Amino acid sequence: MKRRQLLSLSVVGVAMSTAGCITARRTAPLMFDPQPPDRPDECPFSHNFDVAFPVPLEDESVETLTAAYERELRASDGVDPDTLSIEVTLTSWGQSYIADLRVTVDDVDTGETYSAAYYVDERQLMRSTADGTELPVDPREGHPLECRQRID
């Protein structure tokens, strides 16, 4: 069955404290580390993508981000956009964001699927007082990205 699926988006903004409005005030580039510590798995999408993180965080801006990622990925790896699907989940960690991307290449022979977690630093956020002052520490400790083959 021939299909043209450029993007499949699932966008979730998650505040790791109590509910409240979170608004991004600055942009930051997505950083990519193809082999982070203790992650020897091979990743085919090992490039430094100069893609601005969306401001504000809403469906339309995330779609723009994902489209830019797709364009760079296609240009660098020759991926056919007919076979590419990308899902994005945004997660708040205090003054940073993690954008989890599940990249699926619909290859009839291999059916490759990869996951990548993009750690976006230098975020300036406005929090309501209901959010409180203490937010969880980012578990990645500044590691910009992990990319590994997803075993489904």
Classify residue 30: in a domain, yes or no.
yes
Tokens at 40, concatenated: 């020897």
Provide the residue range defining the domain that includes 77. 13-149
Give per-residue burial for 112-127: e unless 16+ CB within 10 Å, then b: ebbbbbbbbeebebeb
Each residue of 111-143: pLDDT tens digit? 555 444 444 433 333 333 333 333 333 333 333
68 sits in which H/E element? helix 59-77
Prediction pTM value: 0.29
Each residue of 12-35: pLDDT tens digit? 332 222 233 333 323 333 343 333
Classify residue 4: in a domain, yes or no.
no
> Taking the alpha carbons of 13, 105, 83, 53 in that order, is the dihedral positive or negative?
positive
Range among 51-60, 100-109, 125-134, 136-145 rated most confident:
100-109
Task: Specify the number of domains making up the chain.
Answer: 1
The arrangement of strands across the sheet holding 145-149 comes to 13-14, 84-93, 96-105, 113-120, 145-149
